Amino acid sequence: MKRLSVLLALIASPAFAASGPFFSLRNTDFVVLISFLVFIGILLYFKVPSIIGKLLDKRAEGIRNDLAEARRLREEAQEIYASYERRQREVSVQADEIVANAKREATLQAEKAKEDLKVSIARRLKAAEEQIAGAESDAVRAVRDRAVQVAVAAAAEILQQQGTAADRSAGIDKAIDDVARRLN
């Protein structure tokens, strides 16, 4: 049974579908062949293959242009990237220089502050020494004044005990002159 179905399938193949002679309009294979040849003829008459070729060439040219543009953009991007890397290195160097300058400035400012502090301390010490010298001078003057007062009082007392009024006046005048000479 299987052999019979295989045999019938081979007999019913598309080549045997048409009946009659091949070059007849009643043969579907011949009609399909003529239609196909007419279709190919129409395509050739209207130059469809050259139009398709031109479209394909145009598309290929567009793809080439796109590839060239992509290469150009890639090179431009690489240049920009290199530029940014250079700028980044320059900025890094500038930042290092700024930090180094800031450290130098800080060191200089610290040294200047130390010097200013030394000068201020020296100035204050000098002012204190001057105040001490002034106070010492005032104390010496006060002691002299007090000594003069005591000496004058002592001299006056001694003169009262020793002599007459005229002698006392002359002695007082002499003692005043003597004290005045010593003070100046």
Q: How many domains does the chain have?
A: 1
Q: Contact 175/155 with Cβ under 8 angstroms?
A: yes
Is the model's pLDDT at 38 over the cut of 70?
yes
User: If you average pLDDT over each of 7-21, 88-102, 128-142, which comes out highest?
Assistant: 88-102
- Give, in order, the Cα–Cα distances in Å from 169 to each of 81, 148, 158, 179: 113, 18, 12, 15
Mean pLDDT computed over 132-148:
84
Three-class SS state of 164: coil
pLDDT at residue 184 in the model: 65
> Is 3 contained in some domain?
no
> Is 82 contained in some domain?
yes
> Is 32 contained in some domain?
no
pLDDT at residue 2 in the model: 60
Does 165 or 128 have the greater pLDDT score?
128
> Is 18 contained in some domain?
no
> Is 2 contained in some domain?
no
- Mean pLDDT across the chain, nearest whole number? 84
Which residues form the domain of 167?
A: 47-183
Interval 60-77: pLDDT, tens: 999 999 999 999 999 999
> Is 94 contained in some domain?
yes
- How far apart are alpha carbons 123 and 126 in whole angstroms? 5
Interval 77-100: pLDDT, tens: 999 999 999 999 999 999 999 999
pLDDT at residue 12 in the model: 46
N-term to C-term CA, the chain: 167
- Under the phi-then-psi rule, with left for phi > 0, alpha for psi from -120 to 50, and beta for the rest, what region is 164? beta
Mean pLDDT computed over 116-140:
89
> Is 27 contained in some domain?
no
- Give me the amino acid identity at 80: I
> Is 16 contained in some domain?
no
- Give, in order, the Cα–Cα distances in Å from 30 to each of 14, 39, 58, 138, 144: 13, 14, 38, 149, 158
Mean pLDDT computed over 111-120:
91
